Amino acid sequence: MTYCLGILTKFGLVMAADSRTNAGVDYISTHQKLFDFSQPGERIVLICTAGNLSITQATLNLLRRDLQTQAELNLHTLPSLYDIARYVGTKSREIQDQDRPWMERDHIDSQCTFLVGGQVPGEEPGLFLVYSQGNCIQVSKDTPFLQIGEAKYGKPILDRILSFDTSLNAAAKCALLSLDSTMKSNISVGPPINLTMYETDTFKIRYELKLRSGTPYLLQIRRMWEGALREAFDNTPDIDWEKQAFASDEDL
């Protein structure tokens, strides 16, 4: 399993991903899942991957091949981020159509998903989730984040903290805490964590990190977050059993 997320605010874009893959409890390995296909000074294209590793790797290889051969349609020639997201979906379908019959024969799930984020000249920064079928959805100002993979454990903090007005540094910190919460609850998600932050209209990636297991900052924010949660829990009023037993719906 994996966990990747993208956050879009009015200040720019944050994307983050873990690096753990597994094919059973006795075969756990590390593979990068956040990739930078940007043209510095021209356009920003960041892609996160989740799902069947062979399908996602083959899709990325097709994307790279089109860049190397200067195909008419590639990540650097398409006119909008939406077109780029659809193009990624098309390449993913191409690989799945080739391999699905053989994978289904052995009961192997071929599904995969992608996050595509960045900025193309003439547009505001954007963020898309590309489904296994090749179609996509776009992030909204009301819910300024998208997730793929093992999303449920890291979603509550995103729901409570993020808005379209959140600063990029706060969004990046929120992304790390979301990943940490997921790693705490699910052993199939784990470091190294790749984190990238992009500032609107700069067309340059200035901030990127690779945080390994045992990185002091990761340990620090885990201790502080867990301590703050315990303190908030301890300060939450106890249940008044007698009062609540006779409370009406209007009182609640």
pLDDT digits (tens, 9 = 90+) for 192-234: 999 999 999 999 999 999 999 889 999 999 999 999 999 999 9
pLDDT at site 247: 65
**pLDDT tier at 249, thresholds 50, 70, 90:** low
Under a CB-based contact definition with an 8 Å cutoff, are residues 210 and 51 in contact?
Answer: no
Kindly state whether residue 94 falls inside one of the protein's structural domains. yes
Whole-model pTM?
Answer: 0.91
Kindly state whether residue 148 falls inside one of the protein's structural domains. yes
Kindly state whether residue 241 falls inside one of the protein's structural domains. no
Q: How large is the average pLDDT for residues 228-243? A: 91
**Among 37, 48, 41, 112, residue whose Cα is nearest residue 75:** 37
Q: Return the beta strands (E) in 62-206 as ranges.
A: 112-119, 126-130, 136-138, 145-149, 193-199
Q: Which range of residues forms the domain containing residue 48?
A: 3-227
- Asked if pLDDT for residue 245 goes beyond 90, the answer is no
Kindly state whether residue 237 falls inside one of the protein's structural domains. no
pLDDT digits (tens, 9 = 90+) for 126-145: 999 999 999 999 999 999 99
pLDDT at site 203: 97
Q: What percent of the chain has pLDDT over 90?
A: 74
Domain of 115, CATH number, reads 3.60.20.10
pLDDT at site 108: 77
Kindly state whether residue 250 falls inside one of the protein's structural domains. no
Q: How large is the average pLDDT for residues 28-53? A: 92
Domain count of the fold of the chain: 1
Kindly state whether residue 246 falls inside one of the protein's structural domains. no
From residue 209, how far is each of 34, 119, 169, 193, 218 by CA, in Å? 11, 20, 13, 8, 12
Average pLDDT, the chain: 91
- Asked if pLDDT for residue 60 goes beyond 60, the answer is yes
Kindly state whether residue 32 falls inside one of the protein's structural domains. yes
**pLDDT tier at 235, thresholds 50, 70, 90:** very high
Kindly state whether residue 247 falls inside one of the protein's structural domains. no
DSSP 39: B
Q: Which of 18-32, 92-106, 166-180, 184-198 is modeled with the greatest confidence?
A: 166-180
Dihedral angle, C-alpha 170, 171, 175, 176, nearest 10 °: -30
- Asked if pLDDT for residue 189 goes beyond 90, the answer is no
pLDDT digits (tens, 9 = 90+) for 144-179: 999 999 899 999 999 999 999 999 999 999 999 999
